[in-house]
C-alpha cells in the first residue's frame, strides 16, 4: 500500500535524525575507547550541542504536524504494517521528548559525558568521593527528567519507559522477590554440594594478544561479521550500533583471567548479532530498531550463558582453546573446565557473577536506584547502602569502592532504569531458548560440531528481523506462545546446576 506525502516527509526527517544520533554515537564510542581523558569538558560540549540539535528538531511543531497528518492519512494501514508500526513508535517517542526542556536534554548530555570520564578515574583510584558530586548532579537531573515525563504511581516508572516500554515498578516488585527467593535457595544448595569446582585453572596466564585473537575467532564462529564490525578494548564492555554496516563491540583483557575477556566478548557479540541482523532497508525507523533493552539483553545472555556455558559448546571449542594457548590447559579435562566456568558462588562483580547470583546483583541496583530517585537515599550514602545490601543479599562486603558501587558505568551515563532489563533479558533468553530447542531439536549436536547457523537464523527470523513490530511482551508471546515469566529461567537453572552439583 502506498503511503502519504506526510509520511514520506516524516520518514526523511526521522532518517536524518538517526544520522545525527549515530554521529553522537561515534563520539560516545570514541570517548570510551580512544579519547584522552583531558578532553572530557570539550567532548561534553560536543555531546550537549548534538543532543540539543536532535531534541530541537525532533520536538519541532512541524514534526508534530507531520505526525498528525500522517496518522490521519494512514488510518487504513494494517496495525502491524511498516507505516503503522513506525507511526506508533514515533508518536510515543515524540510525546515523551516534547515533555523535556531542551536545556535539560543538553545538561544531561554535558554532565553525563564528563561524568563518564570521572567515573573511569574514580574507579581506577578506588575512590567514590571523586565521583560522588557527579552522581549527585546526575540524580538531580534524572529526577527532573522523571517529573517532566510524568508518572502515575512511582517516579522510577517514567525512566523504565525509556528502556522497556510498559514496564513498571509494580511489575518488578511482584517479579523480583519470588525470583530472588528461588535463586537464593538454589545458591544455598550449590554451596552445600560436595562438588567443588577448581576455579584456579581459569586464572592461568594467557597472553593478551592470544586472548584477543581467540575472542575474535569466537565472535566470528557464532556469526559476528567483522567486515561490518570491530572489537576494541574499554573499561566496561559494551556494544554500539552506528549504522547498518558498523557495529562495534568491546571487551577488556586480564592476562590472568581468561574468562573475563572471553565471556564479555561472547556477550557483546550476542548484542552485535542482533544489531547486524536488523533489517537494513528500515534503518532509521522503528522497523529497523531493536524492540527494547530487555530483548537486546536476551540475545547477549543467550549466547553468553545458554550457549557459551553449555557442555556441547565446549566439546567444540575446548580443543581449539588448547591449541590457541599451548601448554596452558594441557592438564585440564573438558569436564573440569566446564564445571569451573559454571561455578555458582557469591561474588562482588556483577559482570563476573554466575547465572544464579547475577540477578541478585541486579535487584540490589534496582532498589538503590529507586531510593535515589525518591530522595530516600543520597549520593553521598551510596557506598554504605551498597555494602549493606551486598552483605545482606550475597554475604559479601567490598574491600574498596571499585569492587563495590563504582564497578558499573551506567550511572555515569545517567542511565537510571536500565539495570532491571538485565534480569528481564535472562528471563526472555530462557523462554526463547526453550522455544528454539522445541523447533530445532538437534541444537546440542550442532553446537558440539561448531555449527551455530541454525540457531542464529532462528533468532534472526523470530526476533531480529521483526524490529519493533511487536512490543517486548507481545514478541515473547508471539515467539514462545507464553507470556514472560521466571518459570523457564528457574527450570533451566535448576536442571543445569542440579546435574552439575548433584543436587536432588
Q: What is the pLDDT along the chain (504 residues), one digit of tens a residue?
A: 578 999 999 999 999 999 999 999 999 999 999 999 999 999 999 999 999 999 999 999 999 999 999 999 887 788 999 999 999 999 999 999 999 999 999 999 999 999 999 999 999 999 999 999 999 999 999 999 999 999 999 999 999 999 999 999 999 999 999 999 999 999 999 999 999 999 999 999 999 999 999 999 999 999 999 999 999 999 889 999 999 999 999 999 999 998 889 999 999 999 999 999 999 999 999 999 999 999 999 999 999 999 999 999 999 999 999 999 999 999 999 999 999 999 999 999 998 899 999 999 999 999 999 999 999 999 999 999 999 999 999 999 999 999 999 999 999 999 999 999 999 999 999 999 999 999 999 999 999 999 999 999 999 999 999 999 999 999 999 999 999 999 999 999 999 999 999 997
Q: Which domain holds residue 114?
A: 5-154
**Smallest Cα–Cα separation from 10: which of 53, 95, 50, 68?**
68
What residue spans of 334-464 are helical by DSSP H?
334-341, 358-374, 382-394, 420-439, 443-448, 453-462
Residue 199 has which C-alpha cell?
A: 576455579
Place of cell 513490530: 469
What pLDDT score was predicted for residue 119? Answer: 96
Q: Tell me whether residue 164 is exposed, middle or buried, using C-beta atoms within 10 angstroms of its C-beta: 0 to 12, 13 to 18, 19 or more.
A: buried
Residue 9 lies in a domain: yes
**Smallest Cα–Cα separation from 433: which of 247, 304, 289, 316?**
304
Residue 29 near residue 234, CB atoms below 8 Å: no
Residue 244 near residue 280, CB atoms below 8 Å: yes
Residue 106 lies in a domain: yes
Distance CA(383)–CA(406), nearest Å, equals 9
What pLDDT score was predicted for residue 76? Answer: 78
User: Reading across the β-sheet that carries 229-233, which strands appear in turn?
Assistant: 229-233, 246-251, 239-243
Residue 461 lies in a domain: no
Q: How many structural domains does the chain have? A: 1
SS3 content of the chain, % helix, strand, coil (to 5): 70, 5, 30
- Backbone phi and psi for residue 438, each to the nearest 5 degrees, phi listed first: -65, -40
Distance CA(254)–CA(197), nearest Å, equals 21
The bridge status of strand 246-251 relative to strand 229-233 is parallel
Residue 385 lies in a domain: no
Residue 15 lies in a domain: yes
Residue 226 lies in a domain: no
**Smallest Cα–Cα separation from 349: which of 412, 406, 413?**
406
Residue 148 has which C-alpha cell?
A: 517532566
Distance CA(382)–CA(388), nearest Å, equals 10
Tallying the residues shown for the chain, one arrives at 504
Residue 462 lies in a domain: no
268 is catalytic: yes
**Residue 327 φ/ψ region, left for φ over 0, alpha for ψ in the -120 to 50 degree band, beta for the rest:** left
What pLDDT score was predicted for residue 238? Answer: 94
Catalytic pick among 107, 118, 268, 304: 268
Residue 329 lies in a domain: no
Q: Tell me whether residue 78 is exposed, middle or buried, using C-beta atoms within 10 angstroms of its C-beta: 0 to 12, 13 to 18, 19 or more.
A: exposed
Amino acid at each position: 500500500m502506498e503511503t502519504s506525502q506526510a509520511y514520506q516527509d516524516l520518514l526523511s526527517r526521522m532518517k536524518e535524525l538517526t544520522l545525527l544520533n549515530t554521529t553522537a554515537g561515534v563520539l560516545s564510542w570514541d570517548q570510551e575507547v580512544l579519547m584522552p581523558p583531558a578532553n572530557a569538558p570539550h567532548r561534553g560540549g560536543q555531546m550537549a550541542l548534538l543532543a540539543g540539535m536532535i531534541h530541537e528538531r525532533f520536538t519541532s511543531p512541524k514534526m508534530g504536524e507531520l505526525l498528525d497528518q500522517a496518522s490521519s492519512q494512514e488510518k487504513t494501514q494494517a496495525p502491524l504494517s511498516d507505516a503503522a508500526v513506525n507511526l506508533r513508535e514515533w508518536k510515543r517517542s515524540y510525546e515523551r521528548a516534547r515533555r523535556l526542556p531542551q536545556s535539560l536534554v543538553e545538561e544531561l548530555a554535558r554532565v553525563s559525558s564528563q561524568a563518564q570520564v570521572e567515573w573511569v578515574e574514580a574507579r581506577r583510584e578506588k575512590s567514590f568521593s571523586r565521583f560522588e558530586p557527579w552522581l549527585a548532579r546526575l540524580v538531580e537531573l534524572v529526577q527532573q527528567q522523571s517529573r517532566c515525563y510524568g508518572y502515575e504511581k512511582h517516579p522510577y516508572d517514567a525512566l523504565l519507559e525509556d528502556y522497556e516500554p510498559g514496564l513498571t515498578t509494580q511489575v518488578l516488585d511482584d517479579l523480583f522477590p519470588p525470583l530472588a527467593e528461588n535463586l537464593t535457595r538454589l545458591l544455598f544448595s550449590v554451596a552445600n554440594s560436595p562438588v567443588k569446582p577448581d576455579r584456579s585453572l581459569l586464572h592461568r596466564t594467557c597472553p593478551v594478544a592470544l586472548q584477543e585473537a581467540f575472542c575474535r575467532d569466537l565472535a566470528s564462529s557464532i556469526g559476528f561479521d567483522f567486515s561490518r564490525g570491530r572489537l576494541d578494548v574499554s573499561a566496561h564492555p559494551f556494544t554500539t550500533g552506528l549504522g547498518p554496516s558498523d557495529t562495534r563491540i568491546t571487551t577488556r583483557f586480564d592476562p590472568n583471567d581468561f574468562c573475563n575477556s572471553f565471556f564479555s566478548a561472547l556477550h557483546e557479540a550476542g548484542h552485535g548479532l542482533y544489531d547486524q541482523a536488523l533489517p537494513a532497508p528500515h534503518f532509521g525507523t522503528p522497523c529497523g530498531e531493536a524492540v527494547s533493552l530487555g530483548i537486546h539483553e536476551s540475545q547477549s545472555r543467550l549466547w553468553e550463558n545458554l550457549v557459551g556455558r553449555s557442555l556441547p559448546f565446549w566439546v567444540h571449542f575446548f580443543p581449539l582453546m588448547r591449541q590457541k594457548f599451548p601448554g596452558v590447559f594441557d592438564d585440564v579435562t573438558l569436564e573440569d573446565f566446564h564445571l569451573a566456568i559454571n561455578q555458582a558462588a557469591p561474588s562482588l562483580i556483577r559482570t563476573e557473577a554466575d547465572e544464579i547470583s547475577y540477578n541478585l546483583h541486579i535487584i540490589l541496583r534496582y532498589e538503590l536506584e529507586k531510593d535515589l530517585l525518591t530522595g530516600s537515599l543520597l549520593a553521598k550514602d551510596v557506598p554504605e547502602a551498597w555494602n549493606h545490601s551486598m552483605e545482606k543479599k550475597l554475604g559479601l562486603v567490598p574491600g574498596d569502592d571499585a569492587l563495590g558501587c563504582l564497578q558499573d558505568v551506567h550511572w555515569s551515563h545517567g542511565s537510571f532504569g536500565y539495570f532491571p532489563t538485565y534480569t528481564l533479558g535472562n528471563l526472555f533468553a530462557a523462554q526463547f531458548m526453550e522455544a528454539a530447542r522445541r523447533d530445532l531439536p538437534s541444537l546440542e549436536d550442532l553446537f558440539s560440531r561448531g555449527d551455530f547457523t541454525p540457531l542464529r537464523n532462528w533468532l534472526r527470523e523470530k526476533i531480529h528481523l521483526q524490529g519493533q513490530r511487536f512490543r517486548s511482551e507481545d514478541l515473547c508471546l508471539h515467539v514462545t506462545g507464553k507470556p514472560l515469566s521466571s518459570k523457564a529461567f528457574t527450570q533451566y537453572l535448576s536442571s543445569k546446576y542440579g546435574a552439575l552439583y548433584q543436587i536432588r
